[in-house]
Amino acid sequence: MAEEKGYETRSVKRLNTPKLTSAYQKEWFMGLRKRIEAGEPFGFVGANTPMEILQAMDIPFVVNQWWTAICAAKQMGPRFYDLLEQAGYRNDICSYCAAAYACSLDPKPEEGPWGGLPNPTLIICGETCSSGIKIEELMTEAFGAEAFRIHHYHQDVIRDNWWELSCDNWEELIGKKRLDFYENELRLLISFLEQKTGRRLDLNRLIETLNNVNEQETYYRMTRDLIAKTVPAPVTVTDTVNAVMQAQWHRGTRWGVEMAKSLYEEVKERVEKGIPAVPNEKIRLLWIGRGLWFNLAFYQHFEEKYGAAFIWTMYLGIASDGYIRRNVEENPIRSLASRFCFLEDILHVPPFNSQWFVKEAKHNQIDGVVFLVPENCMNNGDFSYNIIKSLEDAGFPVCVLRADPADSKKWDQERMVAAVEELIENRIIPKKF
């Protein structure tokens, strides 16, 4: 890839867990094809949907935005976005959500990642973006699937420091009205799935799944905390993003728990043995925004020259703080509703996002922040002004990169490197040294 692009796009791997999760993911995907061929249902879901229900019903599924990440990592984005353009759409908008639909337009779908995306029979999406809903509508038609849309209801209760409430006092955090709304939506979703698949959701299995999720996410929290307090950091984001994202796909399973535990133990071992990820670590960076899947090497680009290590992304961060919900048994559906309806708010709604980023920057002993703002997402809007101001007021300089996180063709390596170097040289080094 280095030859084609003129720069390295693949990161150097330090841990074994990401290798295990990648191998399993590929194997699972191959097995998926066989299951579908044998007549099993196959769900295609948005990242903002309660996948735990499908997990507990043993309905295999692929997550839309994560599929995009796989396409990006395989450097296949440009091929798919060009297909969109040929069909009368555009190759430069909604790339994070449209890759799978583009796959349906591919005359050679088997050439897609891992033999291509099988045709989903069920599509589930949340009504948080009108473009997303339309893309889902196009996919439903293209794949001949059945769709369920989870209606959306806004967060009308604003609480400071949400992470202090989310594990145990989630009813107070979300508010009764919104929780009632989403609890009802989940019950409708369950009825839909039971009716369409002929399977039933077993209450005991659901509780077990949710407890597994809590266990898995607790390992992530412990991992995050280890990285946060250890200087130099034992690992960087390139070690954690794949391991977390792939295991999150299977959250609620014992395998998911085992992989989270394995990641934690590997990180712990490095801490105990004093093995740093970047031996000359001088600067710790936090990355806000979607992962740069087509160019994970970018995160390592600044290590040698500056001793600058990216140690935080939302993937491990949100796994640590966003998922854990205790008191599951009392009302598992309601606890799940409280988790999934709030996940988007953590990232996109002020002040939940800004307060959390500041808290995480402090907790992880961060020196500077790189904020990727997607320039082609029709639904982008996190009140970035507020995020940047909150971080900078708290002493964390921020550099904004405007780019398409899914389409490698539009990435301007030179400009992006220069922007981060500017942050390091002019705003972090003079302040810190």
Partner 1 sequence: MAIRSCAEESPAFSELKWAFDNKRKAISKLMEGGRKAVWMMGDDVPEEVIMAAGMLPVRLCGYYGPRPNADKYLEISFGAYWRGLFEAVLNEEYAGMMDYLVLSNSSDILLKFFYYLTELKRMEPERKLPVIEFVDYSLFSKDFRSQEHNLRETREFIAKVEGWCGRKISDEDLAEAIRVQNEYKRALRAFSALRYGKESRVMGSEALTAIAGSFYLDKPKATELIKQLTKEAEKWPRVENVRVLYTGSMQETTEVYELMEDAGLNVITEDKLFGDRYADSDTDPGMPPVRAIASRYLNRFPSSERAFIKERAAFIPERVREVGAEGMVIFMNHNDESYIWDFPKQRDVLKKMGIQTLMIEDQYYPLRDREELSRKFSSFARTVKGGRQ
Judged by the rule CB under 8 A, the positions of this chain that interact with partner 1 are 87-90, 93-94, 127-131, 133-135, 137-138, 149, 151-156, 158, 181, 184, 188, 349-351, 373-375, 377-386, 402
Q: How far is the CB of 314 from partner 1 (least distance, A)?
A: 17
- Buried-state track 45-58, b at ≥16 Cβ within 10 A, e below 16: bbbbbbbbbbbbbe
Which lies closer to partner 1 via its Cβ, residue 177 or residue 229?
177
Q: Of 32 and 193, which has the nearer Cβ to partner 1?
A: 193
Beta pairing partners, 283 = 308
The nearest distance, CB 254 to partner 1, in angstroms, is 35
Token reading at 35: 């299951």
Q: Which is nearer to partner 1, 93 or 207 (CB)?
A: 93
Minimum distance from CB of 385 to partner 1 (Å)? 5
Which residue number, 73 or 147, has a Cβ lying nearer to partner 1? Answer: 147
Q: By the 8 A CB rule, do 342 and 174 touch? A: yes
The minimum distance between CB 154 and partner 1, in angstroms, equals 5
Cβ neighbourhood burial of 71 (10 Å; 0-12, 13-18, 19+) = buried
Residue number, 191 or 426, with CB nearest to partner 1: 191
Q: Which two tokens stand for residue 395?
A: 């002493």
By CB neighbour count within 10 A (0-12 exposed, 13-18 middle, 19+ buried), where does 211 fall? middle
* Distance (Å, whole) CA 46 – CA 125: 5
Minimal distance, residue 110 CB to partner 1, in Å: 25
Please tell me what DSSP assigns to residue 50.
Answer: -
Q: How far is the CB of 402 from partner 1 (least distance, A)?
A: 7
Strands (E), 217-367: 283-288, 308-312
- Strand 368-374 vs strand 146-150: parallel, antiparallel, or unpaired? unpaired
Output phi, psi for 45, to 5 deg: -130, 155
What is the SS3 assignment for 329? coil
Going across the sheet that includes 43-45, the strands are: 61-63, 43-45, 122-126, 146-150
| Nearest CB to partner 1, comparing residues 135 and 423 | 135
Quote the CA–CA distance of 70 and 391 in Å, as a whole number: 31
Helix (H) or strand (E) holding 150: strand 146-150
Q: Which two tokens stand for residue 377?
A: 């997402």
Q: Whose Cβ is closer to partner 1: residue 138's or residue 417's? A: 138
Pick the closer one to partner 1 by CB: 14 or 348: 348
The CB-of-211 to partner 1 minimum distance in angstroms stands at 30
Residue type, 285: L
Distance from C-alpha of 292 to C-alpha of 290, rounded to nearest angstrom: 7
Helix (H, G, I), strand (E, B) or coil at 421: helix
**What is the closest distance, in whole angstroms, from the C-beta atom of residue 307 to partner 1 in the complex?**
32
CB of 321 to partner 1, least distance (A): 20
| CA-based nearest residue to 124, from 61, 70, 173, 171 | 61
Closer CB to partner 1, 25 or 384, in the complex:
384
Smallest gap from Cβ 85 to partner 1, in A, equals: 10
Residue 194 vs 272, nearer CB to partner 1: 194
